[in-house]
Structure 1
Amino acid sequence: MKSFLKVFVIAFVCFTLLLGGGVLAFLKMSGESNDPEVEPIQPDDIVVSPGPEGKEVKEKSELEQLVEKSKRINVLLMGLEGTRTDTIVLASFDPKDKKVDLVSIPRDTYYHIKGYDALDQKKINAVYGHSKSKGGGPEGVMQVASNVLKVPIHHYVTLSYKGVEQIVDSLGGVKVTIPFDMDYTDRYDNPPLRIDLKKGTRVLNGKDSVKFLRHRQNNDGSHSEGDLGRIKRQQQFLKAAAKKALSFRLPAVANTAFKFVKTNMELDDIIYYAKSAIGISTDDIETYRLPGKASNTKGASYYIHDPNATEELMVKIYKRGLED
């Protein structure tokens, strides 16, 4: 196993801190904040049709109309493994109705950018490592994710694996149900990795949480669900971490988390979103996975997303607050 970890725990905790009240510690530094104006990254493929006098007029889909009317803020959470994104999650936050929707994007999602033609470069997790002049870095991943999901993305948060243990420990651990005995050894990892977690419900400290989120399969090949299996465990961990974090003394956690977080949010943005998110509960949080299926048809192992089902999912998300 060469992947250092799934940093979903950081993604969730930092999302909670940025949008859920942990940054309220900063309110002492600032007065009331107005609704921040941000320039979101938009999908770059626009359908047009002839309009009056031959002018091209954009045809607005149902999703585009919903986006236009919505006040949702979309934040892309990226857990980094060197120059690749080991975890990609869209956090869509409705400040009016206090709804949070998290869409996990499998790191093996197929996405080909001209000039990056090697098999392993045709995956969404490789975009971060492209040169910035050719659409790499966090902004490049934002653009690609926006194209895949067909919605604008306003901010990004990148997260280093180095803070995982400290952040989880600052929360006092997270209670999860381990679905099966996890038994894995990687002597070639640096440092060598040993995962030995028994089936059952328990509170995991930072070190064991990392192991729980890193697990791909056992030494004997059992429970080899790959990235999709880990997404299921991430989402279980998400709910558990949400329950703990939303009831925790978050300013103390913030002191640890912000050491390992990079974001394009300004302090005024963070304050505004945090204040808007006061009162959110775990019942307001929904988790999803990018629609699609695993495939080996393109010469390597990819996850091929379903554009139509993806658009239907985003319409459902954007309608969620409207239907309550």
Structure 2
Amino acid sequence: MGFFKRRWKQILIGGLSLCTILFGLGFYEYYHIQPEHHFKHPPTISSDQVIADSDSDSASEDQEKIKAANALRNIPKLKENVLNILLIGSDERKGQHAGHSDSMILLHADLNKHQYNTVSIPRDTRVYLAGYGYTKLTSVQYIKQATSGSKAGIEAAVSSIMQLTGVPINYYVETNYEGLQSMVEALGTVDVDVPFDVKLTHPWYKENKDKIIKKGTQTLDGKMITELVHERYSLKRVDFDRQLLQEKVLVAIAKAALQPSNFTDLPHLVSTTSNFLIGTNMSNTDILSLGLAVKSLNPNKDIHYYQLTGHSETLYDDILKSNNSQLILDQDNLQQVMTHFR
């Protein structure tokens, strides 16, 4: 009888110990997934290779390369619980292994103040790529992917934007048109505040040729969302108007994702991110924690959109070995806007 009592006592103590350990692990995970703890010291994407390549050259060989490296060295870190995320839309098609950075939106998330700033980086912006020379920003990812692989292409695009803007980037999230379509389809449809009539002159799907998406609030499915963010040739201000459309779509997706019916399914949506993304340095835990951070976000009030200005010039492209139209950003405007991303 005494043996059985001792045995049950051992089992009981063991069970309680296991429950205590599991509870402790659960509390640990819960604590560390909370945004104020998880993003206290977010990583900054490194440009060590770019800097190392620049250091290997003498000043007389390539002044621009050394200038680029110095610009990256001098980028300050952000405060605790403040992070910059680069959203990249690639024109990479299914089965391909390289694509151009067709759209780039920089998102600044201040989790202390619950404020979110966004700015579109124009695809035709003139930038310097170490080892190649001057080219359009959209070409940086493509040429590096074609020569050095997918990750190198994304990191080169990120480095170019950090060098251009003078602000650090902690995370990148890349999707393509198929991924964006899948993302919207997972949400059902989204309501977009379309600021002007948009004629689809260069559609992703041939059957949508010359269709018009009317001004006003439009309920759009995944296919039409991809058409909306892709169109630029029919727009009055071309890329600048396309950036505005992309900002409207970003807000619409945020509003749809934060609906109670979708937000409660956040863990499932996070687990299926591979259906939407073709590249990211964010873990599923990072994405889940960020989702918790924005759960009370009001997209109409808490997201502030900024736009960069500049002028187009016909200049020599060192990658394409020919002249093309490139955008020269207004430096005063650039520096003023970037104060909202530091």
- TM-score over 0.5 for the pair: yes
**How far has the Cα of 1:176 moved from its partner?**
2.6
**Equivalent residue for 1:315?**
339
Q: Evaluate the alpha carbon distance shift between residue 104 and residue 28 of structure 1 in structure 2; reply closer, same or farther with a 3 A threshold.
A: farther
Q: Secondary structure at the match of 1:39?
A: coil
Deviations 1:151-178 (A, max 9, x none): 1111111112212223223323222344
Higher helix share goes to which structure? Answer: 2
Matched, 1:80 2:90: yes
Segments of 5+ residues of structure 1 without an aligned counterpart are: 1-26, 46-62, 319-324
- In structure 2, C-alpha distance between the alignment counterparts of 1:81 and 1:181, rounded to whole Å: 23
**Change in 2 beyond 3 A, CA 1:177/1:132:** same
Q: Does 1:287 align with 2:305?
A: yes
SS of the residue aligned with 1:233?
helix
Deviations 1:272-291 (A, max 9, x none): 43333332222111111234
Aligned counterparts, 1:180-195, within 5 A: 180-185=196-201, 194-195=209-210
Equivalent residue of 2:306, what SS? Answer: strand
Q: Deviations over 1:167-204 (max 9, x none)?
A: 223323222344554444559x7857524024243211
Q: Does 1:264 align with 2:294?
A: no
Counterpart amino acid of 1:78? I
Count how many residue pairs are aligned between Structure 1 and Structure 2. 268
Structure 2: any 5+ residue segments left out of the alignment?
1-25, 52-73, 93-98, 317-322
Deviations 1:39-70 (A, max 9, x none): 3136889xxxxxxxxxxxxxxxxx977x5545
Opposite residue 41 of structure 1, the aligned amino acid is I
Pick which of 205-214 and 195-204 moved more.
Answer: 195-204
Residue matched to 1:111? 127
Indicate the residue corresponding to 1:228 in structure 2.
Answer: 240
Q: Distance in 2 between matches of 1:292 and 1:186?
A: 25
Structure 2: how far apart are the matches of 1:147 and 1:97?
Answer: 27
Which deviates the most, 100-109 or 239-248? 239-248
TM-aligned CA distance change 1:210 to 1:277, over 3 Å: closer
1:1-324 equivalence runs, <5 A: 30-33=29-32, 34-36=37-39, 37-41=41-45, 67=77, 69=79, 71-82=81-92, 83-117=99-133, 122-129=135-142, 130=144, 131-132=147-148, 136-185=152-201, 194-201=209-216, 202-218=218-234, 223-248=235-260, 249-250=262-263, 251=266, 253-254=269-270, 256-261=272-277, 262-282=279-299, 283-296=301-314, 299-318=323-342
2: CA distance, partners of 1:277 / 1:181: 31
> What is the DSSP-based 3-state SS (H/G/I as helix, E as strand, rest coil) of the residue aligned with 2:127?
coil
CA separation of 1:276 and 1:213: change in aligned 2, threshold 3 A: closer
C-alpha distance in 1 between matches for 2:302 and 2:112: 12
State whether residues 42 and 147 of structure 1, in contact with CA within 8 Å, keep that contact through their aligned partners in structure 2: no
Tell me the TM-score normalised to structure 1 length.
0.70
2:64 counterpart residue number: none
CA shift, 1:253, in A, is 4.4
User: Contact 1:110 / 1:122 at 8 angstroms: preserved in 2?
Assistant: yes
Q: Which moved more, 1:104-113 or 1:278-287?
A: 278-287
CA distance in 1, matches of 2:302, 2:250: 13
Q: 1:78 touches 1:156 (CA, 8 Å); kept in 2?
A: yes
User: What is the identity percentage for the equivalent residue pairs of Structure 1 and Structure 2?
Assistant: 26
SS state at 1:275 partner:
helix
Residues 184/97 of structure 1: CA separation in 2 closer, same or farther (3 Å cut): closer
- Aligned to 1:203, the other structure's residue is in SS state strand
Question: Alpha-carbon deviations, 1:53-91, whole Å to 9, x = none?
Answer: xxxxxxxxxx977x5545411111111112211111111
- Asked if structure 1 preserves the Cα contact closer than 8 Å seen for 2:87 and 2:172, the reply is yes
Pick 1 or 2: higher relative contact order, CA cutoff 8 A, min separation 6.
Answer: 1
Equivalent position amino acid for 2:303 in 1: I
Change (3 A) 1:109 1:30: same
Distance 1:98 1:241 in 2: 18
- The C-alpha deviation readout for 1:252-308, integer Å capped at 9, x for no partner, is 544554422131123443344333333222211111123433333554211112333
**Distance 1:94-1:112 versus aligned 2 partners, 3 A rule:** same
- Rounded Cα–Cα distance in structure 2 between residues aligned with 1:142 and 1:106: 14
Give the letter aligned to residue 173 of structure 1. Answer: T
